[in-house]
Structure 1
Amino acid sequence: MEAPILAAVAAVAVLLGPAPVAARPAAARPLAARPASAAVPAPPCPRVPAPKVSRPPRPVPPPAVPEQRVVGGAGLDTAGLVVPAGVARPPALTATSWLVADLDTGQVLGGCGPHEYGTPASVQKLLLAATMLPRLDPKQVVTVTAEDMDIEPGSSAVGLVEGGRYTIETIWLGLLLNSGNEAANALARLGAGEGGAAAGVRAMNERAQQLGALQTHAVTPSGLDGKGQFTSAYDLALIARACFAEPAFRRYALTRQAQIPAQRTLRTKGFQIQNENQLIYRYPGALGGKTGFTDLARHTYVGAAERDGRRLVVTLLGAEPAPMRGWEQGAALLDWGFTLPRDASVGRLVEPGELDATPSAVPSEPAAPGTPRPAAASGPVEPGTLRIWSVAALVGAGGLLLAGLLWRRRARRPLS
């Protein structure tokens, strides 16, 4: 009788993820027996004073979902610092949350509020890339439409023109080197097939769920601010890992300059663009990444580098550019990560499809009249949906086995 129960307990522990080194000693209680609310408060994240600047109030995040905050390990459920025991203290930053992980093994080396909600800005373009790169032929020539050019005045644009004809690869370069918002609209529209950029955003949210990025909800393909648009440092690492698995993305991310061709029929000249990610110029072993900024999000950053055969990725949200710019804060975290032992870990990045997330039953923000509603999978996961059903199935199976064994024993007893 003990074997089925032990198997069920072991399966529950797997669902909850590995125990981080810094969060509990080896002799601590099992994760399933220790709810996150009972954890000892984590130390605060190392901070440097950020300059006082005028900024709009940050958007109110959705309510925290306990099951989402322990994805990758219970120790990641903290607003503070989580690092392996006995390692050097990470650098002080202005970023409100960050994470460092191994691109190849998926080990999380450390983080600051890894599951805290943040506003993505243009690092959301990585989710667009993770979604649409496998769908689009880079050699295909396409036409930019008026819908693609519908971006916020004064926001980042690469310089595509309505009616212009470009290869898909040129548009990807415009997106990843110069953070072109019109390029994002075009790629979302083209990758969706039908339904325009709105359908592309729905596909992005479905892709986020499939990757296990349960705290990510896209409203715009570009990362321009939208009501209800959030992500987390942990989710960005999952998304970045999917991007760096694509050979085309790795090539684009390291491209230093590209040519946007002339559109002679429209009487526009060609021009050259440069990669805005300073990491690729100034950090040995850099693999590329993505910068981002909006007034609401402040500075966001994703970057990766390789050293001695080890590839690390860093993600950060809510940073100010002084005394260090976003890419410099990322570089400092990479330096710290490369000093850690290869087996150091406080959690892990889940694999695509591992969580088998259930579409949410929580309603999204009310849509404006005529706005296509996002697919069910594009909202946050209903609290408890993911693990309650999994645990219920295990407990139910164990209960049936136990009931059967008790019935058999009772059947052997003489009637009183």
Structure 2
Amino acid sequence: MGRRGGARRPLAALLLAGAAAGLLLLPAAASADGARPTADPGAPTPTAPRTGPPPQGSAPDGSTVGGERLDTRGQVVAADAPPLPGPLTASGWLVADAGSGAVLAARDPHGRYYPASTLKTLTLLALAHRLDPAVVVAGTPEDEQVEGSRVGLVAGGQYPVGFLFQALVLQSGNDAANALARAAGGTAATVAAMTETAGQLGAFDTVVGSPSGLDVAGQSSSPYDLALVFRALVEDPVTAAVLTTPVAQVPEVPGRAAGFQIQNQNPLAGYPGSLGGKTGFTDAARHAFVTAAERDGRRLVVSVLDTENQPLRAADQAALLLDWGFTVPAGSAGVGRLVRPGELPAEATEASRPAPRSARPTAAAAGRAPTDDAPPGDDGPSPLVGAGLAVAALAVVGLTVVGRRRAVRREEVSGADR
């Protein structure tokens, strides 16, 4: 069953201007205040949509990944489940039994949204067994100047990969993501590794544009895909240990910086049976969160995308879904399944993955009033595609691009997230 795409409609006047001018798509755009983006120059630019790409949520054979009931932008709930809790205001969310794979309930499960720093979960999964944790990575000036939240890497510092994984998750360090990408062969190689990992999991809604989750035009993930990634993380002892690390020590850099301690910023760290969590926030993505918990030997995974802090934060909505999910009878058939790699069609190749295109319009884009309650935090300003020439070019080359948005604030972290 086909699904509708998630692109915005450009203004007719701009389309006509683009057609007349025959302009080429700009690779990146100025931020809302006119400043040029400072994205990693080595970052890959998402490519044009292929002719007739598969609908979001589609497996290579055309079926909906996880079952046909998940081919919806509405809400689906297991027949044997109690009423859902409220308020659940996120545009997309999913709660699933990590053991059986049963999706207990979801809203817009395969909807493509900007993931913000929840994408760092895929960075960790892709690199955890590709990099030796004992290898030391030298800090660079680029690490010091990376956009958004930084754990505090400085040029000349010596940082073990194992620590960088902790910094990536505990404090969502974009500088740590930058250093890990360098250790893995560069941004392009890291994005390729993340893309390969997503494909192996069956996360076909995920289009990777950056290791940090900073917005890139066309980058996306879905509630379903984030649940796949997080389930894989909690099932791997190496990555599960990173998710639940309470504190880590930032190494001293003699003559430049004293060593100091960082804490895990998971807002649900105190939830009974918590197995970890990862926040995300940009103006494009709004608030996002993915988490898992265990109770009486049963594990649930929850993902929440595109929501505001009012009336309830993303993490608090996730806690409600966890509480609710544990009341659903074990063994419920659910409304679909989180697939396993062995269940994917053999022809799951790069050619069958969805082409990069704009993520689903966020609540802010849909007319919901933006909030001003997000403090400085994780993701910082994003390189979004501008409205003028870039949108006009869509009429010529048929590319999908994100409508012009204001500069991205940084993602929320711990204290302000609580």
- Judge same fold: TM > 0.5, yes or no: yes
Task: Tell me if 1:213 matches 2:203.
Answer: yes
In the other structure, the counterpart of 2:285 is 297
Asked which structure has the greater RCO (Cα within 8 Å, sep 6+), the reply is 2
Q: Which of 295, 302, 321 lines up with 1:307 in the alignment? A: 295
Distance in 2 separating the partners of 1:301 and 1:319: 10
User: Equivalences for 1:59-78 in 2 at 5 Å?
Assistant: 64-65=55-56, 67-68=58-59, 70-78=64-72
In the other structure, the counterpart of 1:250 is 240
Structure 2 unaligned residues grouped into runs of 5+: 4-31, 33-48, 358-384, 386-418
Task: Tell me if 1:103 matches 2:98.
Answer: yes
Distance in 2 separating the partners of 1:182 and 1:128: 13
Q: Is the 8 A contact 2:100 2:331 kept in 1?
A: no
Q: Which of 174, 185, 189 lines up with 1:181 in the alignment? A: 174
SS in 1 for 2:120: helix
Q: Is the 8 A contact 1:211 1:352 kept in 2?
A: yes
TM-superposition CA deviations, 1:124-154 (whole Å, max 9, x none): 00010110001112222221234444522xx
Q: CA-atom RMSD, angstroms?
A: 2.4
SS in 2 for 1:279: coil
Distance in 1 separating the partners of 2:194 and 2:144: 20
Q: Is the 8 A contact 2:57 2:110 kept in 1?
A: no
Task: Tell me if 1:277 matches 2:274.
Answer: no
SS in 1 for 2:293: strand
Q: Is the 8 A contact 1:149 1:185 kept in 2?
A: no
Letter in 2 for 1:329: Q
Distance in 1 separating the partners of 2:58 and 2:280: 28
Distance in 2 separating the partners of 1:188 and 1:245: 23
SS in 2 for 1:135: coil
User: Equivalences for 1:137-216 in 2 at 5 Å?
Assistant: 137-149=132-144, 151-152=146-147, 155-191=148-184, 194=185, 196-216=186-206
Distance in 2 separating the partners of 1:258 and 1:66: 37
Letter in 2 for 1:231: S
Distance in 1 separating the partners of 2:57 and 2:169: 34
Shift of 1:202: 1.4
Larger Rg: 1
Letter in 1 for 2:282: T
In the other structure, the counterpart of 1:409 is none
Structure 1 unaligned residues grouped into runs of 5+: 1-34, 38-55, 369-416
In the other structure, the counterpart of 2:41 is none
TM-superposition CA deviations, 1:239-292 (whole Å, max 9, x none): 11121122122112112221112111x4211111111112112x1111112111
Greater helix content:
1
SS in 2 for 1:201: helix
Distance in 1 separating the partners of 2:181 and 2:342: 22
Q: Is the 8 A contact 1:289 1:304 kept in 2?
A: yes
Q: Is the 8 A contact 2:98 2:231 kept in 1?
A: yes
SS in 1 for 2:177: helix
Task: Tell me if 1:343 matches 2:334.
Answer: no
SS in 1 for 2:269: helix
Q: Which of 348, 360, 363 lines up with 2:351 in the alignment? A: 360
Distance in 1 separating the partners of 2:248 and 2:125: 21
In the other structure, the counterpart of 2:318 is 330
Q: Is the 8 A contact 2:69 2:335 kept in 1?
A: yes
Distance in 2 separating the partners of 1:112 and 1:346: 11
Q: Is the 8 A contact 2:73 2:107 kept in 1?
A: yes
In the other structure, the counterpart of 2:251 is 261
Task: Tell me if 1:79 matches 2:68.
Answer: no
SS in 2 for 1:215: coil
SS in 2 for 1:67: coil
Q: Is the 8 A contact 1:277 1:289 kept in 2?
A: yes
SS in 2 for 1:231: coil
Q: Is the 8 A contact 1:186 1:197 kept in 2?
A: no
Q: Is the 8 A contact 2:227 2:303 kept in 1?
A: yes
In the other structure, the counterpart of 1:24 is none
Distance in 1 separating the partners of 2:75 and 2:356: 31
Shift of 1:335: 0.3
Q: How many residues align?
A: 304
SS in 2 for 1:99: strand
**Bigger mean CA offset, 332-341 vs 85-94:** 85-94
Distance in 2 separating the partners of 1:201 and 1:150: 20
Q: Is the 8 A contact 1:212 1:353 kept in 2?
A: no
Q: Which of 118, 121, 125 lines up with 1:126 in the alignment? A: 121
Cα gap change, 1:96 to 1:271, in 2 (>3 Å)? same
Normalised TM-score (structure 2)? 0.68
Percent identical among aligned pairs is 51
Distance in 1 separating the partners of 2:80 and 2:355: 44
Distance in 2 separating the partners of 1:364 and 1:86: 37
In the other structure, the counterpart of 2:83 is 89
